[in-house]
Amino acid sequence: MVEAGRSPNIEILTNADLISLKGKPGSFKADIVQRPRYINADDCTACGLCTTYCPRHQEDDYNEGLNITRPIHIDYPQAVPATYYIDPRSCLHLTHDTCQICVPVCQSKAIDFSQQPEEMTLEVGAVIMSPGFGRISEETLAKYSYGKHPDVVTSIEFERLLNPSGPFAGEVRCLSDNRHPHKIAFIQCVGSRDIGCNNGYCSSVCCMYAIKEAMVAKEHNPEADITVYYMDIRTQGKDFDAAQKRALDKGIKFVRAKVADIMPWGDHLRLTYSTLDGKHNFKPFDMVVLSVGLESPPDAQKLADMGGFKLNKYDFCATDTFTPLATSKDGILVAGAFNGPMDIPESVTQSSGAAGIAAGLIKKQRGKSLIHKTYPDEKEMGDDVRIGVFVCHCGINISSVVDVPKVSDYAGDMDGVVYYTESLYSCSQDAQEVLKDKIKEHNLNRVVIAACSPRTHEPLFQETLKDAGLNRSLFEMVNIRDQCSWVHANEPDAATDKSKDLVRMAVAKARHIQPLPEQTVPVTKSGLVVGGGIGGLTAALNLADQGFNCALVEKQDTLGGNYKKLDHTKELIAQVKKNKLVTVYTNSELQQTSGFVGNFSSIISSGKGAKVKETTLDHGVIIIATGANEHRPETVLGNTVKYSQNIVTQSELALQLEGKGKSRAPKSVVMIQCAGSRGDDLNYCSKTCCTTAVENALTIKKINPDSQVIMLYRDIRTYGYAEDLYQEARQKGVLFIPYEMDNKPSFAEKGGKITVSFFDPILQDDITMNPQMVALSVGMVPEETDTLSKLLKVPVTADKFFLEAHVKLRPVELPVAGVYVCGLAHSPKPVNEIIVQAQAASAKAAMPLVKGYVTVDPIVSNVDKGTCIGCRLCTSLCPYQAIQMVKDENNKPKAETIVASCKACGICASHCPTFAISMGGFTNEQINSQIEAFGSGIKEKEAA
Amino acid sequence: MAKAKKSREGTVMVLGGGIAGVQAALDLTDLGYYVYLVEKSPAIGGVMAQLDKTFPTNDCSL
Ligand SMILES: Cc1cc2nc3c(=O)[nH]c(=O)nc-3n(C[C@H](O)[C@H](O)[C@H](O)COP(=O)(O)OP(=O)(O)OC[C@H]3O[C@@H](n4cnc5c(N)ncnc54)[C@H](O)[C@@H]3O)c2cc1C
Ligand code: SF4
Ligand code: SF4
């Protein structure tokens, strides 16, 4: 968010409403009205004085109305833009023409009641709709006693209760009498999977967030007794099942039940629920959390009318399986929860994909309005060391444990420190201004920030340094959140001491840091896509649409992968073959890749045996789309499987159902879900098998309504709109019977006769039957990934799927710059999600190609040729081939770093027998001084 | 009412400044476009800005 606020190429128009939208790709006209804030953004310093003086109260929407704020306020300190605003609904001046107390209070004279709505017309080439989701109606919530009892809260309210900036400063308390709730119930599927409120779909995210909230509540109060009431636990995302397992390990209970009623009961709530066996049970709770679903946004219809695109029957944006990011109107794309309920990783992926498509649509206009950011010249370092230390409270995330003022004061006494201070949120936009000012005011030439994780925030601070005329390497960050306040949450004194140690070490290092030059390297403007299935085809075409050459390498002799038979795939193959920018290599494999982002060189081998041909390709980026295959487990739930006519996989059944004649539908079939997945022999949920099985069940019922279809399952995971299919299958008489892992179904075939036995929790009895067929939902396994993983030095998960750089914020990038992943090689997923990911991966991959150059991280190895004895140890050890031998003027061999290839792993520096190699930003001198500083602290303590 | 006109080639409008809109805007700038990020509320961030921690990584980061 802060990044968006700082970008010179993003104009944020808040308080803004779209009132009309017309046009076509390349030229849209959007009329916007911007409502006044009544506060000038340029003048407001976000000091908050006005809020303390404003006499009027109003509900705090940001905190879901759980506490009170004033009409003049800011939602939260890190808000972007960091400007206060006046809510016209309750401001005394704006409603009653009185008051105006705030006007003279504001020292920077930022308050301006004369502001009027401003109308403007934006002329743009394309539009992306991302208005998100709306709230489940109060009427639906009332069925769960919401509104009747203050301790029935929604999950969003519960998020606020958990949050340090929430109504009770991060303490979970009952709204009725402020006590800490001991027994907490979560009720799933509120406003989802509920035809009663016309939301037949599953909201897909609430199971996962309920688990998260329950876990965080447990962290707040380990004694809390938490039960989740659910129909199915839908944690189908990558590694999401593990989250539920952790919750179970923490003692969070999961009960498969329907909640019938919630009633006030003394100062408690009484929950009535019925379990599968038909029994009604009662239980008291202190607090009930409703896991509310995601509703279409309130102005969906208005937006659709203005934009001229269609909504689906649930009033979310209508899209097609094969064009999942396109609205029905050309040039208007959609991303995020408005495109159907989805979580953050999925939203982020969709956004990248939609951005890429928009970019392709108007590629002729590319760069025409781009503003290139310039930085002031780097100032002279001078001889003095002038360090500034900034210690962050992170709201109360750090300061609730660590004594921040003490740490800051401690830093003030250190050598070289000329300025020190605390800040509430160092990452907020106004804090960046403060940082810049302080660098100038105190002529700082090194900055130490003690705050959260450098992984997420270092780039932000370094950017601010550059804005202030400092080289970004003149920066040292200490993580006193993860490493102090989080891990030592129960030992505030020790956490404070450790923070002091870390700050002391950082300052010691900072005394020795030097500016490092930033280098740029040009890129080869083309891509390489590995894998020619639906994901690879989509990615290659997208890169071509954006104007870049692309090589598509496929192992098999034909393109199309798992979805060869789809019309859409055939269409893609035809387009790829026609497209002049795409070169296809079938029967081919990637043999070798060297280089780095922007400058890869790969060898592709084509053909087999004696006729192998090798091609060398230079390219700037790589997209991995190697896919997955159907799993074929030899045992399922402890039963040895002998695949036959009658014991088949779901895909074999689907094939059989494609034929002719009524008999192709088995008269009776038992489908077994999670056959191999979710801890049977694969550890993960294969995500697609529930929907596939339900589809097959429906096809069978369509061919022969008398066929008996029984599905044995653990959780039916027909998330999103697929829930409609599940409901339809139930209506059509498909029987769904859950099994537990401690009482698994058994099946066997003997002399052509199949016997299946399982426990029926509804009848509370063991059942044995002889269906005509058993269909196994076998899941999927990734295509071999070890070779590529080694070749490209990118990691895979324990389950052998490629591991992305950050699951939430960088879902299609791999940790090696310039390498991207999409489709089943990333994790199991249905075809529409594969396409979205391929579109996202190609958008991300296009970025360095568009830019035309890459910046080399200044932290690279550096060989001191005078000390180097030419032993070549480093060249043999470097995993990235980033060190070469050159001859010096005396013709002696000396090592030299290829900076653009160096990944700064430090192996060379740590092995060099003569200490000739140092790492920029991690010199021996710097590290030694850090170690000494650590030791001096121990001495101090011993002395005391 | 003042009427401003903003007409430039190579621009895209993103409507809604939640995580989806913000990400789309950032990516568009990296792809060479100038973006108008239109948000109806006084701040960007959407629902994510209200969440305490977010799965799957349970950090706050943005
Ligand atoms: C209780 C709860 C907990 C959750 N926890 C997690 C979690 O831990 N991890 C996770 O991955 N996901 C979680 N989610 C899901 C997550 O909130 C969504 O995936 C995400 O917010 C979707 O982002 P978005 O940008 O599409 O929508 P939103 O966040 O809804 O943002 C939409 C934005 O558009 C603006 N807008 C709407 N209409 C208009 C208009 N007409 N004009 C201009 N602007 C408009 C809105 O003001 C808003 O700023 C949770 C959801 C809930 C309800
Ligand atoms: S004028 Fe409005 S915002 Fe200002 S102090 Fe009065 S009520 Fe508050
Ligand atoms: S099953 Fe779907 S709708 Fe119900 S709580 Fe889980 S994710 Fe939400």
Vertex A205, ends A179 and A240: CA angle to 5°?
Answer: 95
Confidence of residue A430 (pLDDT cuts 50, 70, 90): confident
Do A143 and A272 belong to one domain?
yes
Which amino acid residue places its CA nearest to atom 12 of ligand 1? A343
Do A530 and A451 belong to one domain?
no
Q: Which residue of B has its CA nearest to A373?
A: B29
Q: Which H or E element spans position A521?
A: strand A519-522
Digit-coded pLDDT (tens) for B12-52: 999 999 999 999 999 999 999 999 999 999 999 999 999 98
Pick from A44, A102, A109 the residue to mutate for probing ligand 2's pocket: most ligand atoms within 8 Å of its CB: A102
- In what side-by-side order are the strands of the sheet with A549-553? A582-585, A549-553, A526-530, A621-624, A819-821
Do A767 and A704 belong to one domain?
yes
**Is A335 domain-assigned?**
no
Query: Relative to the alpha carbon of A132, which ligand is closest?
Result: 1
Q: Which H or E element spans position A432?
A: helix A429-441
**Is B59 domain-assigned?**
no
Name the region of A121 (left: φ>0; alpha: ψ -120 to 50; beta: rest). beta
Nearest in space to B18 (alpha carbons), one of A219, A294, A332: A294
Count of domains in chain A? 6
Burial class for A845, CB neighbours closer than 10 Å (0-12, 13-18, 19+): buried
**Is A314 domain-assigned?**
no
Segment A457-470 mean pLDDT: 92
Token pair recorded at residue A225: 């007794």
Confidence of residue B61 (pLDDT cuts 50, 70, 90): very low
Confidence of residue B59 (pLDDT cuts 50, 70, 90): low
Count of domains in chain B? 1
Do A148 and A253 belong to one domain?
yes
Segment A829-847 mean pLDDT: 98
Give the domain range for residue B23.
12-41
Residues whose CB is less than 8 angstroms from the CB of residue A298 and which lie 6 or more positions away in sequence, other chains included: A134
**Is A932 domain-assigned?**
no
Vertex A895, ends A893 and A897: CA angle to 5°?
Answer: 150
pLDDT at B7 over 70: no
**Is B23 domain-assigned?**
yes
**Is B36 domain-assigned?**
yes
Other residues' Cβ atoms within 10 Å of the Cβ of residue A855: 14
Alpha-carbon distances of A472 from A447, A520, A941, rounded to whole Å = 10, 15, 34
Counting residues of chain A whose pLDDT is more than 70, the rounded percentage is: 100
Whether A590 lines ligand 2, by a CB cut-off of 6 Å, is no
Structural domain ending residue among the three candidates A292, A307, A340:
A292
Pick from B48, B59, B62 the residue to mutate for probing ligand 1's pocket: most ligand atoms within 8 Å of its CB: B48
Look-up of token digits 């010691």: A508
A18 half-sphere exposure, CB direction, 13 A CA radius:
30
The CATH code of the domain that includes A675 is 3.50.50.60
pLDDT of residue A57: 96
Other residues' Cβ atoms within 10 Å of the Cβ of residue A409: 14
State phi, psi for A906 to the nearest 5 degrees: 85, 5
Interface test with A, best of B47, B52, B57 (most A CBs within 10 A): B52
Interface test with B, best of A124, A209, A827 (most B CBs within 10 A): A124
Alpha-carbon distances of A301 from A141, A191, A309, A317, A334, rounded to whole Å = 23, 20, 9, 9, 14
Q: Where are the alpha helices (DSSP H) in A17-154?
A: 49-53, 92-96, 102-105, 138-142
**Is B19 domain-assigned?**
yes
Do A635 and A620 belong to one domain?
no
pLDDT at B4 over 60: no
Token pair recorded at residue A152: 């029935």
Token pair recorded at residue A271: 């929950």
Q: How far is CA A93 from the centre of its chain?
A: 43
Digit-coded pLDDT (tens) for A350-408: 999 999 999 999 999 999 999 988 899 998 888 899 999 999 988 777 988 999 999 99
Whether A72 lines ligand 2, by a CB cut-off of 6 Å, is yes
pLDDT at A317 over 60: yes
Q: How far is B60 from chain A (nearest CA, A)?
A: 9
Token pair recorded at residue B16: 């809604």
Each residue of A411-422: b (16+ CB within 10 Å) or e?
beebebbbbbeb
**Which atom of ligand 1 is the closest one to the Cα of A346?**
19
pLDDT of residue B1: 44
Segment A141-170 mean pLDDT: 94
Do A737 and A837 belong to one domain?
no
**Is B37 domain-assigned?**
yes
Of A122, A162, A808, nearest to B36 by CB-CB distance is A122
**Is A168 domain-assigned?**
yes
Q: How far is B1 from chain A (nearest CA, A)?
A: 6
Q: What's the mean per-residue pLDDT of chain A?
A: 94
pLDDT at A881 over 60: yes
Segment A25-49 mean pLDDT: 91
Of A80, A160, A456, nearest to B59 by CB-CB distance is A456
pLDDT of residue A353: 98
Which amino acid residue places its CA nearest to atom 19 of ligand 1? A343
Do A144 and A287 belong to one domain?
yes
Alpha-carbon distances of A771 from A352, A625, A774, rounded to whole Å = 48, 39, 7
Do A714 and A815 belong to one domain?
no
Give the domain range for residue A885.
855-926
Ligand 1 proximal residues by C-beta, below 6 Å:
A 18, 130-133, 155-156, 159, 205, 209, 212, 297, 299, 303, 336-337, 342-345, 347; B 15-21, 38-41, 46-48, 51, 54-55
Identify the sign of the CA torsion A644, A650, A654, A655. Answer: negative
Beta strands A917-919 and B2-7 are unpaired
Of B10, B56, B61, nearest to A237 by CB-CB distance is B56
pLDDT of residue B6: 65
pTM: 0.88
**Is A615 domain-assigned?**
yes
Confidence of residue A572 (pLDDT cuts 50, 70, 90): very high
Which amino acid residue places its CA nearest to atom 1 of ligand 2? A100
- Cα(A74) to ligand 2 centroid in Å equals 13
- Which of B:39-58 have CB within 8 Å of A? 39-58
Q: Which H or E element spans position A353?
A: helix A344-361
Residue A892 to residue A872: CA distance in whole angstroms: 12
Residues whose CB is less than 8 angstroms from the CB of residue A595 and which lie 6 or more positions away in sequence, other chains included: A601, A901
Residue A905 to residue A283: CA distance in whole angstroms: 56
Pick from B47, B51, B60 the residue to mutate for probing ligand 1's pocket: most ligand atoms within 8 Å of its CB: B47
Structural domain ending residue among the three candidates A292, A318, A341:
A292
Do A503 and A571 belong to one domain?
no
**Is B32 domain-assigned?**
yes
pLDDT at A747 over 50: yes
Counting residues of chain A whose pLDDT is more than 90, the rounded percentage is: 84
**Is B58 domain-assigned?**
no
Q: Which H or E element spans position A549?
A: strand A549-553
Identify the sign of the CA torsion A664, A665, A671, A677. Answer: positive
Residues whose CB is less than 8 angstroms from the CB of residue A225 and which lie 6 or more positions away in sequence, other chains included: A182, A183, A184, A253
**Is B1 domain-assigned?**
no
Of B24, B47, B50, nearest to A335 by CB-CB distance is B24
ipTM: 0.95
Do A417 and A546 belong to one domain?
no
Q: How far is A480 from chain B (nearest CA, A)?
A: 15
Q: For residues A665 and A704, is the Cβ–Cβ distance under 8 A?
A: yes
Do A700 and A837 belong to one domain?
no
Beta strands A287-292 and A183-190 are parallel
Do A597 and A640 belong to one domain?
no
